[in-house]
Amino acid sequence: MSGSVLDVRHLSVEFLTETETVRAVQDLSFSLALGETLGIVGESGSGKSTAALALLGLLPKSARVTGEILFRSARSSSPEPVNLLAFSNQAMRLYRGGQISMVFQEPLTSLNPVYTCGSQVIEAIQLHETISYREAQARTVALFEEVKLPNPRAIMNRYPHELSGGQIQRVMIAMALSGNPALLIADEPTTALDVTVQATILQLLQEVQERRGMSILFITHDLGVVAQIADSVAVMYQGKQVEYDSAEQIFTKPQHPYTTGLLNCRPQLQPRLDYLPTVADFMEVVTSTSGEPMLQARVGVAAPPVVSQTELDQRLTRLQQQAPLLSVQNLQVFFPIRAWLGRTARYTAAVNGVSFEIHPGETLGLVGESGCGKTTLGRALLRLIEPSGGQVIFDNQNLTTLKAQPLRALRRHLQMIFQDPFGSLDSRMAIGDAVIEPMRIHAIEAGERQRRGRAAYLLERVGLNPDLMRRYPHELSGGQRQRVCIARALAVSPKFIICDESVSALDVSVQAQVLNLLKELQSEFQLTYLFISHDLSVVKFMSDRIMVMNRGKIEEIGPAETIFKAPAQDYTRKLIQATPEVHLDHIQARQLRRQQQSAQYTNSTGS
């Protein structure tokens, strides 16, 4: 283990239930050197987070953990590593949060909402060190400055709900750094963030790592993010490690078909593909001679055709020759800011004078950072939020002046697919009933038998087995739940669908499947989309035109290719530059820099 901070050997995690043994992690092995970043990549359910929780001893009692987790303490006088699995929970507290710390995926749920951000970091410091409150307070301010929080002294007294997503994640990083750890575990720390905030968090982690010389275990499902930060990569599939190598080797010469599939299924800014490859295109499950299932690479995988600029121009011209299906004129949405005794002190403009048109069969992409007004605009179009001013003309009818009854009748033609499929489905309603319910409301089909038949057809059309109709949302995966939401939106034969971050919470492989499905359904059912996302690569793949939004206003709008090749605004250029991409020269430069830093550390310690 010479030079390693962490050495994991044959780690396996099993969960014992009343009926079966679930093998969440099987024979995982890797080594993490001083100052190195190891990326662990895989889809949901691959065992990434379970392995991280095993390192910290945070798994429930039902878990059976075997193998070795050898950790070399930076503060120990002994050069020999310790096996963390041999420690009791009480002994692990000496390491957990101090020498080994963790940044979780959802920072808002990791902080206590009734305590200020400053007091929670102060508590973490005093838990591991015997220092006064005043000293811990000064240390907290210094940590907030280190993670580049604006006005650190003011944020000390703010509560988590008063901060943005990026600021909350910085607070969590500051808390993780409070014990000066040798190892930082970052579990999907940027998944819920928009591309610009994600880029700043990744840059921050690299700067802190180089300044402190700590190691990072970075867990994600996005290989584009891994390319920005990792020196080496371990790829996991269904609890097993299928590939482990340097980042350069993984991205240039992947050895396993699953890795190849992950690399290819993420949308790229260039070129424009007709459809996205999926993991299933690169591998198949076969039965070995011993009867065990095994993965095998598919032979003769065809690359998706590239869509030419001429084809894109002809399609957009054809679409714009039709009269607009939706016309938005000077739309405004103001939210009141309450003062003392509930009085309105002022208003904030979430949507401020927005105007645009969408033609039948078109996909208009809407991009921007969190808080720019994207979701508010989408909800205002359907009057789920009442506009403060302006007009929304849909199919020659002014939605902003319609009474409740005619608006309800018209809504069958306007549907919305929400970001969180689990939250938008009734947990007590079987998925078949969830698809049938809107048909009952709008009196579609002659009777229940016909409605059930149509629901079965729609579930099959979105790639689900109709036998799942009796299942409940919690019995499905995230990708399956999102497909149910798409089937439910299609149940009333809509003309216009708003997709509000409908793939942002999905793994890249499932995301590719859903994006392909949305394109197929658009062609089959003649649908028109407003596609809202903070991921520009996804929006570019889906959209005919793109509209960029910032602080409630439209920065620019134009053909998708034009927006990317020749953006007119600095804000748009910033979004494009922040989009994660795999750049081999970046990976090579980072590895060279880490090797130089490791050599400097070795020379300074004389080891």
Give the residue among 399, 312, 323, 413 at the shortest CA–CA distance from 359: 323
Query: In which band, very low, low, confident or very high, does the pLDDT at 607 lie, cut at 50, 70 and 90?
Result: very low
Q: What is the 3-state secondary structure (H, E, C) of 121-172?
A: HHHHHHHHCCCCHHHHHHHHHHHHHHCCCCCHHHHHCCCHHHCCHHHHHHHH
The pLDDT value recorded for residue 495 is 95
Element (H, E) at 243: strand 240-246
Which residues neighbour 260 within 8 Å (Cβ) at sequence distance 6 or greater?
Answer: 254, 282, 283, 297
Please compute the mean of the pLDDT values over residues 215-228 and round it to a whole number: 88
- Asked whether the beta carbons of 133 and 121 are under 8 A apart, the reply is no
Round to whole Å and give the CA distance between 456 and 448: 12
pLDDT at 76 over 60: no
Interacting residues of 517 by C-beta distance below 8 A, sequence separation 6+: 462, 463, 483, 486
Judge contact between 55 and 87, C-beta under 8 A.
no
Please answer whether residues 243 and 211 qualify as being in contact, where contact means their C-beta atoms are separated by less than 8 angstroms.
no
Q: What is the pLDDT of residue 522?
A: 94
Q: Could you tell me the pTM of the whole model?
A: 0.84
Q: Check pLDDT > 60 for residue 2.
A: no
Half-sphere exposure of 566 (CA within 13 A, CB side): 3
Whole-angstrom Cα distance, residue 468 to residue 462?
Answer: 12
d(CA 396, CA 33): 64
Q: What is the Cα 528 distance to its own chain's centre?
A: 25
- Percent of the chain scored above 70 by pLDDT? 93
Number of Cβ atoms within 10 Å of the Cβ of 53: 19
Mean pLDDT of 294-321: 90
Comparing CA positions, the residue from 554, 511, 191 lying closest to residue 368 is 554
Q: Find the distance separating the first CA and the last CA of the chain, reported in whole Å.
A: 14
Confidence label for 1 from pLDDT (cuts 50, 70 and 90): very low
Q: Tell me how far the alpha carbon of residue 571 is from its chain's centroid.
A: 22
Residue 339: per-residue pLDDT: 64
**Could you tell me the pLDDT band of residue 285, with boundaries at 50, 70 and 90?**
confident
> CA of 518: how far to CAs of 362, 512, 528, 558, in Å?
12, 10, 11, 22
Of all residues in the chain, what percent carry a pLDDT higher than 90?
51
Is the pLDDT score of 77 beyond 60?
no
528-581, pLDDT tens digit by residue? 999 999 888 899 999 999 999 999 999 999 999 999 999 999 999 999 888 877
pLDDT confidence of 25, banded at 50, 70, 90? very high
Give the three-class secondary structure for 108: helix
Residue 596 pLDDT = 67
Using DSSP, state whether 296 is helix, strand or coil: strand
Residue of 506 and 594 predicted with greater confidence: 506
Q: Are 44 and 478 in contact (CB under 8 A)?
A: yes
Which residue is listed with tokens 């000293």? 135
The CA radius of gyration of the chain, in Å to the nearest whole number, is 26
- pLDDT: is 311 or 480 the higher one? 311
**Residue 309 pLDDT greater than 70, yes or no:** yes
**Residue 520, exposed/middle/buried by CB under 10 A (0-12, 13-18, 19+)?**
middle
pLDDT band at 4 (very low <50, low <70, confident <90, very high): confident
pLDDT digits (tens, 9 = 90+) for 131-163: 999 999 999 999 999 988 888 999 999 998 888
Q: Is the peptide bond before 271 cis (omega within 30 degrees of 0)?
A: yes
Within 10 Å of residue 604's Cβ, how many Cβ atoms? 8
CA 105 remoteness from chain centre: 9
- Angle at the Cα of 191 (from 187 to 195), degrees rounded to 5? 135
Q: Which long-range contacts (CB under 8 A, 24 or more apart) does 469-474 make?
A: 469/430, 469/431, 469/432, 469/435, 470/430, 470/432, 471/430, 471/431, 472/427, 472/428, 472/429, 472/430, 472/431, 473/421, 473/422, 473/425, 473/426, 473/427, 473/431, 473/434, 474/422, 474/427
Q: Which residues contact 311 (CB under 8 A, 6 or more apart)?
A: none
Cα distances (Å, whole numbers) of residue 598 to 177, 212, 602:
21, 12, 6
Distance CA 152, CA 167 (A): 11
pLDDT in tens, 224-257: 888 888 999 999 998 999 999 999 899 989 999 9
pLDDT of 585 higher than 80? no
What is the DSSP secondary-structure string of 531-573?
EE-S-HHHHHHH-SEEEEEETTEEEEEEEHHHHHHS-SSHHHH
Which region among 76-90, 268-282, 384-398 has the lowest average model confidence (pLDDT)?
A: 76-90
Q: What is the pLDDT of residue 603?
A: 61
| Edge-to-edge strand ranges of the sheet holding 389-394 | 344-358, 326-338, 389-394, 397-398
